[in-house]
């Protein structure tokens, strides 16, 4: 069945009625990675190229923003407020989407990563935020979702007093997971591609940060009766904490769609082996993932998310046996490679020497 037919399936409840603006290009490509599969000794490796969603260097947040900005537009907002790490892809894409819709964008950058390197602080996504004309604020802490959200609401109040109509995209849990709906859509899109091309996969590997991508994809697949395991690779918090977060989000998504719960506890799979040394910091496995993907498939990963998820993919390939067919969701984030330039180039070169 085509993905457009799946989207209006009663199994996805109210999905097609909820406010949405089209920002990205879909479907994103589903590509084989034969050289990576061969190197890892597995039957097949696939990548869903959500780094190619089109808008301003692309990435998973394009799909998520379609629902947040749909809501913003239905409330007649003229200004978007969003918070994230210094090298956040979400804020860069919110700024780009706001431009496209004729809105202003105010961005709060949190000190989540202990890096004082001027390249980290000015290149990559920060550079793009400036090109896109966003107004930038900084927030001194990095592990304070509630405080960061509270500050955004304070900025929103002062904008409201000046006659603007702000819309806040919240960070912490406890709000409607509108962004995850973008990945319910992606699940329908992916299923249609797998069916059409008669591709069978044993497992899907995805980074798990706020959880919107992981929870949305998992909910969409299960609602559409697909039982492929989805393994989340922790990039922000440990597996125990992230498991609770994903479970809660899956039930909130089902409520939003007005469908019965479809995700069981056993469906929520997470590994945190590649989280160290912490959010936005590169471990050796992530550097290996970046160099291996680049040098087998020409596929560029980002240092914060997709590199760690690919480290999980490589680990699954090595431990799961030669008959496997694995699918990787590339969530984008590629502008951040420039912000990690010096460190990454140096460590990637060492890999070359070791090969």
Ligand X SMILES: *Cc1c(COP(=O)(O)O)cnc(C)c1O
Q: Catalytic amino acids?
A: 88
Stretch that binds ligand X, among 156-164, 169-177, 271-279, 300-308 (CB under 6 A): 300-308
Report which residue's Cβ sits closest to ligand X: 333
Displacement of CA 172 from its chain's centroid (Å): 15
Measured between alpha carbons, how far is 203 from 315 in angstroms, rounded to an integer? 13
Measured between alpha carbons, how far is 82 from 147 in angstroms, rounded to an integer? 13
The verdict on 335 binding ligand X (CB under 6 A) reads no
The binding track of 14-53 with respect to ligand X, each residue x by CB under 6 A or -, is: ----------------------------------------
Take residue 332 and report the two structure tokens written for it.
Answer: 């984008």
Measured between alpha carbons, how far is 347 from 355 in angstroms, rounded to an integer? 13
Measured from the CB atom, the residue of 63 and 151 that comes closer to ligand X is: 63
The residue from 20, 61, 247, 308 that contacts ligand X (CB under 6 A) is 61
The verdict on 209 binding ligand X (CB under 6 A) reads yes
Smallest distance, Å, CB 334 to ligand X?
8
DSSP string, 202-250: SEEEEEESSSHHHHHHHHHHHHTT----EEEEESSS-HHHHHHHHHHHH
The verdict on 87 binding ligand X (CB under 6 A) reads no
The residue from 60, 83, 87, 108 that contacts ligand X (CB under 6 A) is 60
C-alpha neighbours within 13 Å on the C-beta side of residue 87? 29
Smallest distance, Å, CB 197 to ligand X?
25
Nearest to 61 by CA among 232, 173, 213, 214: 213
The verdict on 212 binding ligand X (CB under 6 A) reads yes
The verdict on 303 binding ligand X (CB under 6 A) reads no
Take residue 110 and report the two structure tokens written for it.
Answer: 């949190």
The footprint of ligand X (CB under 6 A) covers: 59-61, 89-90, 207-214, 302, 305-306, 331-333
């Amino acid at each position: 069945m085509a993905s457009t037919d799946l989207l209006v399936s009663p199994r996805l409840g109210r999905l097609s009625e909820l406010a949405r603006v089209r920002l990205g290009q879909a479907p994103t490509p589903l590509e084989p990675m034969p050289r990576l599969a061969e190197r890892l000794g597995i039957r097949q490796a696939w990548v869903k190229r959500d780094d190619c969603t089109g808008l301003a260097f692309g990435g998973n947040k394009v799909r998520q923003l379609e629902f947040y900005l749909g809501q913003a537009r239905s409330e007649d907002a003229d200004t978007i407020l969003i918070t994230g790490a210094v090298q956040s892809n979400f804020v860069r894409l919110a700024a780009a989407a706001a431009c496209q819709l004729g809105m202003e964008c105010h961005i709060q950058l949190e000190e989540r990563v202990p890096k004082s390197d001027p390249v980290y602080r000015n290149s990559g996504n920060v550079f793009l935020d400036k090109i896109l004309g966003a107004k930038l604020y900084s927030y001194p802490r990095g592990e304070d979702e509630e405080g960061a959200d509270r500050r955004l609401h304070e900025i929103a109040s002062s904008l409201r007093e000046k006659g603007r109509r702000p819309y806040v995209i919240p960070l912490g849990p406890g709000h409607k997971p509108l962004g995850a709906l973008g990945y319910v859509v992606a699940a329908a899109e992916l299923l249609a591609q797998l069916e059409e091309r008669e591709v069978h996969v044993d497992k899907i590997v995805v980074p798990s940060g706020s959880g919107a991508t992981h929870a949305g994809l998992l909910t969409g697949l299960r609602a559409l009766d697909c039982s492929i395991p989805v393994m989340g690779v922790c990039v922000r918090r440990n597996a125990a904490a992230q498991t609770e977060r994903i479970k809660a989000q899956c039930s909130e998504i089902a409520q939003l769609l007005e469908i019965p719960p479809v995700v069981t506890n056993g469906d929520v799979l997470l590994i945190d082996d590649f989280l160290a040394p912490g959010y936005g910091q590169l471990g050796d496995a992530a550097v290996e993932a970046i160099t291996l993907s680049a040098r087998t498939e020409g596929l560029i990963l980002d240092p914060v998310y997709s590199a760690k998820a690919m480290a999980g993919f490589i680990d699954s390939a090595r431990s799961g046996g030669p008959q496997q067919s694995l699918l990787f969701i590339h969530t984008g984030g590629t502008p951040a490679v420039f912000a990690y330039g010096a460190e990454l180039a140096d460590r990637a070169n060492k890999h070359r020497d070791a090969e």
